[in-house]
Amino acid sequence: MSGDHLQRLLLEEANVRCVVVHLDAVYREVLGRGCYPDLVAQLLGQTLVVSALCSSGVKFSGRISLQLRSSSALKLLMADCTDQGGLRGLARFDADAILGASGFSDLTAGGVLTMTVEPSDKARTWQGIVPLEAHSMSAAIEAYFERSEQLPTRVMVAVQGDRAAGVLIQRLPGKAEDDDGWNRVCRLLETLGEAELLQTASEELLHRLFHAEDRRLYPARPLRFFCPCSRERVARVLRGLGEQELEEIIESQGEVEVNCEFCDNRYCFDPLDIQRLLHSDLPEDTDGRPTFH
C-alpha cells in the first residue's frame, strides 16, 4: 500500500511485534491547519507517527492519545489516532522561547508524557504518565513503555519536508521460542537508516529487515486525517458551562463562538441557539468517540 498507512508484522518465534507507519497527506493536513516553526513541525510529525504506531496495539474500538506538556518552549504537543486510522494533532508553543531552542530536550524540559486509551463503548479510560527525561521523541516513547508497561520497545521516526515515517518493534509478554530473538531483531533494526525508512514501501522494508525470520504479515490499514468535532458535541460542552456563564458571554459578545483547534471548524450559537441547547434535549452522539476541545 502507498500513501498514508500502517503495516503490522508479527515475528512469531521471537515473540516480537513490528509496526511501520507512513504519513504524507495526513501530515500535510495537520501542518496546513497551524503555523509551526520547523522544529515544532518536525516534532508534531513525529508525534503523529508515534500515536499511529501505538494505536496498532489497541484491540478495541476507540482512540489512543499522546500528549507532551511542559513549561518550556513547547507547551503542548498532542496527537491521537482511532482504531479506524483517524489521526489529528496540534502544538502550542512560546514563539519567543522557540528561537533559542536547539532540540527536543530544550523544548520539553521539565515536561511529562501522557498516553490515554479511550474506549468508545464508555468503558473505563486508561491513562499513563511519565516524566520527559529523554533526548528525542523515540527515546521518550521507549522510556514510557519500559516504565509504564514493562515492555521492551524500540522506535525509529524520520521526518523530511512534509513526509513522516516510523517503525516500532516491541517484545510481547510471555516466553519466546527463540531466546535470542529480541536481541537479533534489535540489531537488525539498527541497520535501518532514516532515508530508507522514508523512501521504502512498508512491506518491502519489513521483508528487507526480517526476511530470515518466521513472520506473519497483516493487511495494511489506511490512515487519514479525522476530527470528530460536531455542532452537537460543542453544544454538550457549552451546556456544561451553565446558563449564567453562557448568558454573560451572549451579553458581552452577542453570540457564543467556538473554534476547534484541531480542524479549525467554527461553531456559532446565537441567543436562540443557546436557549435551545439549555432547555431542549440534545441528539445522541452518533459515533461514540470522545473528543478534546
**For residue 114, what is its C-alpha cell?**
501522557
- Comparing CA positions, the residue from 207, 226, 227, 208 lying closest to residue 217 is 207
pLDDT at 123: 67
- My answer on whether 146 and 246 are in the same domain is no
Q: How many domains are there within the chain?
A: 2
- Residue 287 included in any domain: no
- Give the Cα separation of 185 and 146 in Å (integer): 17
**36-40, 96-100, 163-167, 273-277, range with greatest mean pLDDT:** 163-167
pLDDT at 231: 86
pLDDT at 263: 81
For residue 106, name the pLDDT band (cuts at 50, 70, 90).
confident
- My answer on whether 251 and 110 are in the same domain is no
pLDDT in tens, 128-177: 898 988 889 999 999 999 988 889 999 999 999 999 999 999 999 888 88
* Residue 134, domain CATH: 3.55.30.10
Residue 8 pairs in a beta bridge with 19
**For residue 222, what is its C-alpha cell?**
489506511
- My answer on whether 17 and 156 are in the same domain is yes
CB 10 within 8 A of CB 218: yes
CB 258 within 8 A of CB 293: yes
- My answer on whether 60 and 202 are in the same domain is yes
- Residue 289 included in any domain: no
- Residue 51 included in any domain: yes
Alpha helices in 102-219 (DSSP H): 104-108, 137-144, 181-189, 194-199, 202-210
- My answer on whether 183 and 255 are in the same domain is no
- Residue 286 included in any domain: no
pLDDT in tens, 217-263: 999 999 999 988 888 888 888 888 888 888 888 888 888 988 888 88
pLDDT at 219: 93
* Residue 262, domain CATH: 3.90.1280.10
- My answer on whether 31 and 175 are in the same domain is yes
pLDDT at 43: 94
pLDDT at 293: 28
Range of the domain at 275: 231-279
- Residue 32 included in any domain: yes
pLDDT(290) > 50: no
pLDDT at 237: 85
pLDDT at 47: 96
Residues 96-113 have a mean pLDDT of 85
- Give the Cα separation of 63 and 81 in Å (integer): 6
Residue 45 DSSP symbol: H
- My answer on whether 139 and 249 are in the same domain is no
- Residue 179 included in any domain: yes
- End residue of a domain, out of 225, 245, 270: 225
Please count the other Cβ atoms lying within 10 Å of the Cβ belonging to residue 199: 14
pLDDT(289) > 50: no
For residue 51, name the pLDDT band (cuts at 50, 70, 90).
very high
290 Cβ partners below 8 Å, 6+ apart?
63, 118, 120, 125
- Give the Cα separation of 211 and 11 in Å (integer): 10
pLDDT at 96: 86
The pTM assigned to this predicted structure is: 0.85
- Residue 293 included in any domain: no
Percent pLDDT > 90 in the chain is: 53
- End residue of a domain, out of 209, 225, 241: 225
- End residue of a domain, out of 225, 240, 258: 225
CB 14 within 8 A of CB 179: no
pLDDT(10) > 60: yes
